[in-house]
Every structure is written in structure tokens, then in C-alpha cells.
Structure 1
């Protein structure tokens, strides 16, 4: 009998150089093998580095990876875990400013918002569409996506366009 396995990806979007070996150690303790990531400069954050890891493990490995990296200052990362028999997929996003976000995902990577979460948004809104919008935005992790998007694009070699607030 074979054990159920799943796979996923870890994107370390930005880490200071001093933190990189600690990130590798934390990952290695979860995947139970030495992890030597290929670090490259992160154009969206000069002085920071980025790396990616494709992993295979038991269902729940994504949660363990996200937890092992949670709370480190200046660390931005995302973990995905594909669905496996009897287990939904998941995504975790972390930024120093926002903390961690978790969402259940379908086979295509879409975030699934539960009926209870939608009902909560309606109830919290109490007739105010703006509050319903804010609650659903939170349920979809839009703030995390907005903050991580420049780091994702910079990782693809795309030019980074910085917008500066004036005033």
C-alpha cells in the first residue's frame, strides 16, 4: 500500500541574506532533507533575495512549511499545496506587514470561499455593500495579492514599475 502524497511550490519572494540559511534550515526540517535553494537578487526589493522550491510530501506539508516560516521579519513567501485524494488544495501567503493568509483552493488553484464566510460578509455588512465588499476582499486575500504582486512579477524577469505616493 502506498502513502498518499501531494506536491506544491514554495516561493520565497524576499529575504535578507542573513536569513537565507535559516530559511533553508526551516524548510529542510519540514521536508526532512537538506535544502540548498538557489538564491537570486530580488529586483523589487534591493538587498533582498528570492528562491523557489518544488516539493513532494504528505498532505499537510504546505501548512508545515508555512508555519515554519511564519513571523520572520522581512520575509515574504507563498506556499501552495495541490489537492490530493480526500484533501483540498491550499495556499498560504505571508508578508511582514499583513502576517499570514490561508485559503482553500480547487484543482485549478482558485480560492474557494465557504458558505459560512459569505454569510458572515452579508451579516457584517448589515445592508452596507461597502462592508460586504471589504469582507469578501479579505476572504480572497486581495491585500496579500496586492502586496506580493510586484515581487511575483520581478521574479519573472519583468520590469518593475514603482508607483510613489506624492504628498
Structure 2
């Protein structure tokens, strides 16, 4: 089973994926190691090359998690989109010492459902989990429930709405 965990930076992707009992490919590291992009104002990823390299990389895995804010571009069996209230996300991103412009861009992306919309466009089965008030263990439990139900699990998204934040 190939699982992608995606979401706006700061929603908890790395934190939860590192605690699953499934091998994980951290997309940010993978892309940089394979030279699948170039540094401009920000690191710009060659998405078709990334998908192709992931297809080769995942051939050897029966089960694997691909984690990263661009993971939803890789065709997976189950795509999990982590969400977070922009007010909480703001605190998390400021702790990372992101620039004010980058924080604002990510908060707007979260409020506008950008990653979710891209995931829905690129994946067959999409699960949305609001991590705002959940512990790491609770998020993992919700994810594991969906993983265990696959392939019977159906898409479940559209309940999170941060548009008032805008």
C-alpha cells in the first residue's frame, strides 16, 4: 500500500509519519538528494521528475508512506491531508523562524484549502484530518483507522473550513 501524507507546512506531517510502523520517504530530503529541483527564491521542485523518481524508489516497498507538502502529486492508494487552524499554524511556523512573507503565504494556503484541492484533483481516495486540537497519538490513531480499512475506506473531506480566517 502506498500512502501519501500531505498538508501545508506545520500541520504535523513529519511528526506523525515518523511514528507509524511503515517505512517513510521524507519528500523534502528525497527531492534534494535526487536533485529534483533548483534553488531560486525558494527551492522549486520538478514535479514530473519527482513522481517518476518516487515510482522507481517505491517499487521495492510493499507498504510505504511518502510524506511532504507535495506528496499529493504522487499517485497513492490513500492520501491523507493534515489540516490546522491558521491561528495555531501561525505559532508553529513562527517557531520555525519562517519569514513573515512565507508564514503569510502558508496561512493563506491553509485557509484557502490549496493542498486539499490539489490532493482531490490528483488522488482517488483523500482523507482530511484536522490536527488542531489533537495530540500526535490521536492523529496517528485516526490515520491508522483509515489505513486498516483500506481498500474499503472512502474519501472523507470537506468538513474543515478556515475561510473565516481570511
TM-score where L is the length of structure 1: 0.30
Query: Which gives a bigger RCO, structure 1 or 2 (Cα 8 Å, sep 6+)?
Result: 2
TM-score where L is the length of structure 2: 0.30
Higher strand share: 1
Higher helix share: 2
Larger Rg: 1
